[in-house]
Amino acid sequence: MLHSRVLRYIDEVARLGSIRAAGERLNVAPSAINKHVLQLEEAIGEPLFERLPRGLRLTPAGEILLAHVRRTIKEYSQVEAEIRDIKTLQSGEVIIATMNGLAGGIVPKAAASFCARHPRLKISIRVMFVRDIVQAVIDGEADLGLAFNLPVMPQIETLWKLDTRLGAVVSPEHPLAGMETLPLSFCEPYPLIFADKSMLIHGIVADAFSEAGLAVEPAFLTNSIEAMKCLAASGDGIAFLSKFDIAEEQRNGLLTYVQIRDRTFGKNVLSLVQREKRGRALAASMFADEIMRALRAAVE
């Protein structure tokens, strides 16, 4: 570390109150330590120590510098430990439990980017229902969980979350695709693609139509996000999903997301979680950071 020896010299002199004692502790000639202390005092323009008959005592300037020195030494020790950990990333596995829409877009993209930099690490992506994702994280069967509308539980720590309201998802050729926003009633004439009742978003969408006074019957019902996206991309059907569900398809020009006006849909919160009070292994921590970067990029 730049100037690391000087920092250690200042720290030991302050602890022991003596340049000679610091030299003996560090196995360095006292004259060398004294030279560095004098050079630093000259550079700062203030004395760091009072020279007393029985030793040295910090001046006010010295107290300020010593606090900085000790913070720097501590931070550098942490950096060294992290670098050592990175060198030991020779093998291992990170398990993320997620939903099928996310497993078809953001998660594998982040995993591919991560593994390109850390080829000896393995990422396992497991698709589950929400209740199973929560249990897998609590039981330690998954390092991370990424899903919509996860319940708040004391055993779960949230690393990142965002309210990602559902919108109308259509093909780029759809008559509504060019609109920035649209009222829910504009969707009524088209074939509607609903999640079935086994999925939480079914209630969000059905409630929105009911509260808007629109009595509709979906043309398609499915518990597969992938099926919903395919149906929307291949005709005039409208699915109701979040931007994160179709991040890859929108980037590739296969689907378009159109916001519904007046926040008609209820909350649809996407969360990245881990088990509470459980220190993550370095690989899991680094992959969590990768996922969060991908999530932030998707909303920019």
Task: State pLDDT tens for residues 192-224.
Answer: 999 999 888 899 999 999 998 999 999 999 999
CB 162 within 8 A of CB 291: no
- The answer to whether the CB of 160 falls within 8 A of the CB of 295 is yes
pLDDT confidence of residue 2: 47
Residues 120, 91 contacting (CB under 8 angstroms):
yes
Q: Which pLDDT does position 181 carry in this prediction?
A: 92
pLDDT per residue over 86-131, tens digit each? 665 666 789 999 988 788 788 999 999 999 988 888 899 999 988 8
CA distance 114 to 251: 20
Specify the pTM: 0.62
In the predicted model, residues of the chain with pLDDT beneath 70 are 1-3, 78, 81-91, 263, 277-280, 300
Return the residue matching tokens 């518990």. 223
What number of CA atoms fall less than 13 Å from residue 255's CA on the CB side?
Answer: 29
Measured in whole angstroms, the distance separating CA 265 from the mean position of its chain's CA atoms is 26
